[in-house]
Each structure stands twice: as C-alpha cells, then as structure tokens.
Amino acid sequence: MADRKRSLNHVSGCLLGGAVGDALGAPVEFMSLKEIHHRFGPAGISEYAIAYGRKGAITDDTQMTLFTAEGLILSQVRGGDLKAYQVPPFVYQAYLRWLSTQQTVHFEHLVRKYGSCAMVDGLLIANKELYSRRAPGNTCLSALMSGRMGTVEDPINDSKGCGGVMRVAPVGYFVQPEAVFETACEIAAITHGHPAGYLAAGCLARIISLISHGADLVTAIEKTIEILKTWPFHSECLEAITSAEQAWQEGPHNHRTVEKLGRGWIAEEALAIGLYAALAAEGDFDRGVRLAVNHGGDSDSTGLIAGQILGALLGADSIPDKYRTGLELFGLIEEVSEDLHQRMPDRD
Ligand SMILES: [Mg+2]
C-alpha cells in the first residue's frame, strides 16, 4: 500500500500525540463545558494548564498505554515469534506492574501471589515518575486486583468504560494486521468484559494499523467497520462510529457537536469523539486535540484517542512546540516508541 506510515516519526507521533491529548484534557476532565468556557474563554482550553500539580501532566491513560507497549515488547523478548493469541498474557503481566505503581498492592504481595520475579521487572517499573495515581479507573483497578485475567470468552465483568480502548493503540503497530482487531479486543477484555468495552479497542487498534500501512482515516474507518460487523454484539460500537462520521460530514465543527456524541466515559463514545475530532481536524493536530478535549466528559481519554490517531497520520513532527515543551515523561515516551518501532514487523 502506498505511503506507509511505519517510521519512527509515526510511531512516536502516535504515542506522543496521545500523551499530548491526555495532558491537554487532564485539567478539564471533571469540568462541564460551561465551566471550561468560563475558565478558558469561548475557544476552550488550548494550552497546558495545571493538573496533578503541574502543567503537561499525563494521566492513567498514557501510563497504561506505555505498559501495553512494554507487554508487547516483552512478549517478543521472552517468547520469540509468538502467535497473536499468546501475546495478551504478557500485557496482563505489564498491567499488574502498572497496578503496583498505583500503590494499591505491594511487590511482596504480587510475588507471593504470582510467584514470579517477572512481575516486578520491565523498564517502566523502575521509573519513579510512574508511581503516581492519575485518577485511575476503578474498573481497571478492581479487575486487576481480582487475580484473574479477563478474556472475551470468559468476561471478568460487564464494564464498557473507556479504560480498555484508551490503552491499546500500540497493538496497531506490533501485531500482524490480520490479528490486530482480535488481539486488541483480548487486551481490553483483560479488564473490560462488555462487548462495547473491548470492540471499541479492537476498532482503534485496527484503525492505527491501517493508517500505518498507508490508509487515510476515512478508508481505515470503513475497513474497520467491515471487521466489526463480523463480531457479535457490535451494534453499539457501530452506531457510535457511524454517528461520528455523520457529525463530521454535517458539522458545524464545535464543542456542542462533540457533546452530541456523548461524554466519552464509555468506550464507544470515547472512540466516537476521538474519531470525530481527528476527522474534523483536517490535518491540523492542534485543531483536532482541542476539539477532542473541550466537552463536559472524559476529556483526557478522548484527547488521547484523537491525539494518537492524528499523530499516527501526521507524525511526531506535526505536534506543535507548545505541546512538546513541558509534556511529562516526554523522554520516556520517546524511548518506548523507539523500542516498539525497533521490534515492529515490517517497519520502515
Ligand atoms: Mg485518565
């Protein structure tokens, strides 16, 4: 396919772009649109403001995306050429390491329970900046604390919160295209058992994968819908994606239109808002992430999804300096992107 986007610039564009959207949305995550307009003016938030004690702070969404990437990378380091279905347990282990950074459990407890020092290694767990709670989702915490790994076949709960979709983008680069959708669904189902909770994740990873192989966003969405329709219980997710496309075609492109797609607390709405904002961005990263975060919902997750898609399309050098400067964990995100790119099949 022409114009592949499998360079380091595009992989780090996806991960950094997502972190930028996450950090831009973090200060307004729990604000209504009225409160956002009151505090930041009619255009809404358009540069980093303070959240978690600093400007440019990332949240649990970026933390977990990094742990997804680490799980994927370690699956190859440890397992060699695994089949796609063998990959999710490595990501589960990575999420348990993330859980331990949230100080809800202790290393000793983990080692005792799982009996392996593999639980406490990896690159990320040595980074003390990740030992910070950034409003982690209760579903992720409780599912991981249960000691059981959820799967599509054996759901761990009935949650369709956006905690599954907001962390799976790296799957789009790592897994062979034909296995991306299912692998991302399984990785989301580790903590989110409702079909919409994992199918939205399958869609996002598949869209990232198609973009990386040269598809434009509209084509990537179309091809993803074809796969989505083959899965049972896909109607909520399909409806959300269709609404996003319709909102983009009809306009006007503003904060009110975003709110018609929902608030993003649930997976298919977060995906819909992210997609809509990326479509309406018309190739302008800044425009897209601002559209994605200025609404009265889960602004950091929707900002992250839009930022990942736009970064995957446009590359890291499309991210304006105002967002590169002061982004928390910038160096670490670049490092993880390099590792991921290095291990990608068929990279540029
Ligand atoms: Mg968050």
Tens of pLDDT, residue by residue over 148-183, are 999 999 999 999 999 999 999 999 999 999 999 999
With 0-12 CB in 10 A as exposed, 13-18 as middle and 19+ as buried, what is 76? middle
pLDDT in tens, 300-343: 999 999 999 999 999 999 999 999 999 999 999 999 999 999 99
Please tell me the distance between residue 135's alpha carbon and the centre of ligand 1 in angstroms. 6
Please tell me the distance between residue 125's alpha carbon and the centre of ligand 1 in angstroms. 19
Please tell me the distance between residue 298's alpha carbon and the centre of ligand 1 in angstroms. 8
Backbone angles phi, psi at 316, to 5 degrees: -65, -30
Question: Is residue 104's pLDDT more than 80?
Answer: no
Please tell me the distance between residue 63's alpha carbon and the centre of ligand 1 in angstroms. 9
Please tell me the distance between residue 137's alpha carbon and the centre of ligand 1 in angstroms. 8
Please tell me the distance between residue 56's alpha carbon and the centre of ligand 1 in angstroms. 13
54 sits in which H/E element: strand 54-55
Q: How far apart are CA 148 and CA 296, in angstroms?
A: 34
For residue 53, how many other CB atoms are within 10 A of its CB?
A: 7
Question: Is residue 131's pLDDT more than 80?
Answer: yes
Please tell me the distance between residue 114's alpha carbon and the centre of ligand 1 in angstroms. 28
Please tell me the distance between residue 59's alpha carbon and the centre of ligand 1 in angstroms. 5
Comparing C-alpha atoms, which of 18, 66, 104, 96 is closest to residue 311?
A: 18
In order of their start, the domains of the chain are 8-342 (1.10.4080.10)
Q: Report residue 213 as tokens.
A: 């192989």
Please tell me the distance between residue 106's alpha carbon and the centre of ligand 1 in angstroms. 22
Burial 133-145 (b: 16+ CB within 10 A, else e): ebebbebbbebbe
Please tell me the distance between residue 81's alpha carbon and the centre of ligand 1 in angstroms. 33
Q: Once rounded to an integer, what is the mean pLDDT over residues 259-265?
A: 96
